[in-house]
A and B are shown apart, each in its own frame.
Chain A
């Protein structure tokens, strides 16, 4: 069977859907293929025991590239804003005020005014104009200004919760680049229908413009000829479909993209670069509870060994769980490389910290799922500041997703969305050039 489209998107994660919706909106015939029966990848929803559980994304940032794209293509951005972030520091709950947030956090961590002033000064310098040297980790940078464990813990939590990486692993330069990018939209929200509402809304844009979305349809091969992409073979309902496409965007992760294109077609250098991408790990514990554990919609935990944040999503969107029950997500940052045996141990540590911090957890909570995100299904395919560009050595083949947003230095959903939009814009430009050339000849 044969099919011809302008744009083929492989993988329906939020990066792929952003690219697909952008290009469909521009008038290009778009097909999205997804190997799984549901769309959205990490930005999706699975209903389990009456709860709309997330497959990864807890909530999107507001006002970033994702929301901008939704407005541009006319997709419904049904997201309810959360309250202000609160940190648990040395047993005290500290609100992060809209202004002077860092000072508030540091004051809870240390009583040393001189230390706070020094850190704030160094911080604004690094954010505004002086990038720290490349080789310095965030922890090393911090140690130049403070030896206080509580101070380091606050930054560890901030980094792990926002950039999904520890202060040992992220470079100070990458961290400040990340902060610069994300400044102004630390506001985030929750989808009342679950995260799947977002890829669904983008999918609607695609199908309303004569595009299609095929689920349970894995790609088998991506075809290229003389270094130019030609399309892909897709498995659909037990049959192989050859899809010809002017542009192919791969949103199925670096490793799988290489498998689909063939190592020999991408070149040694590019594959080596892909190999350097460091995935971010995460532990996500899904909890059904008949009582709230604290009276905030989310709390960032400072000073714990693994636990980073607890989100009480039904406080924002009661629709996610049956009446009288709550959906709570605990997120942890596992240390080091996660093998299967360490994974269970890391979950144990997270759960122990949950029990220690929240007395109601054991008596009210039921653990629905304990998810470890790493290896082939990481929290992100690259940590902040180390992602790659969307273009590949194959002309008109793009890689999109959170591993491919080098220009913007953003992470997670904003990174994935940003990569999709950037690749979509680049592809639209090339498609337009192609059209003009055809007209002229």
Chain B
């Protein structure tokens, strides 16, 4: 599933347009709803690397560092 790293998210909302199922809302800080299909499309677009996939394979986010 996709989670938000709270310490990094600034609430810029620039991830919102990239979710094809409108599962991301952002009002001061981004939140991912249960509608998320884990397409991982959003990961790449966060400018501060605050989106993260937490799955069986461990953690991964759009930024490598």
Q: Quick one: which of B11, B44, B65 contacts A371, CB cutoff 8 A?
A: B11
Taking the complex as formed, is B56 at the interface, i.e. its CB lies under 8 A from any CB of chain A? no
Chain A residues, CB < 8 A from B14: 46, 55, 369, 371
Q: Is the CB of A370 within 8 A of B10?
A: no
Q: How long is the Cα–Cα vector from A48 to B65 in the complex, in angstroms?
A: 28
In contact, A340 and B28 (Cβ under 8 angstroms): yes
A: interface residue count bin: 35 or more
Main SS of chain B's interface residues?
loop
* A319, chain B: closest CB distance, angstroms: 18
Chain A, residues 357-389, CB within 8 Å of chain B (1/0): the string is 000000000001111111111000000000000
CB pair A371 B45 closer than 8 Å: no
CA A140 to CA B22, docked complex, whole Å: 47
A347 smallest CB distance to B (angstroms): 6
A-B contacts, 15 of them at CB < 8 A, read: A36-B44, A36-B45, A47-B17, A216-B44, A218-B63, A220-B64, A260-B65, A344-B27, A369-B14, A370-B26, A371-B12, A371-B13, A376-B47, A377-B10, A377-B12
- Complex CA–CA separation, A341 to B11 (angstroms): 11
A259 within 8 A of partner (CB): yes
Q: Which residue of B lies closest to A346 (CB)?
A: B28
Number of A-B contacts (CB under 8 A): 79
Which one of A53, A346, A347 lies within 8 Å of B17 (CB-CB)? A53
Which residues of B have CB within 8 Å of A49? 17
Which of A36, A37, A259, A372 interacts with B11 by CB under 8 Å? Answer: A372
Taking Cβ atoms with an 8 Å cutoff, the residues of A that contact B are 35-38, 41, 46-49, 53, 55, 216, 218, 220, 235, 259-260, 340-347, 368-377
A36-B44, A216-B44, A343-B28 known; A374 and B63 CB under 8 Å? no
CB <8 Å contact, A377 and B48: yes
- Collect the chain B residues with CB atoms within 8 Å of residue A368's CB: 16
Question: Beyond A218-B63, A347-B28, is A373–B12 a contact (Cβ under 8 Å)?
Answer: yes
> How would residues 6 to 46 of chain B score, 1 for a CB under 8 Å from any chain A CB and 0 otherwise?
10111111101110000000111100000000000000110
Taking the closest CB of chain B, its distance from the CB of A38, in whole angstroms, is 8
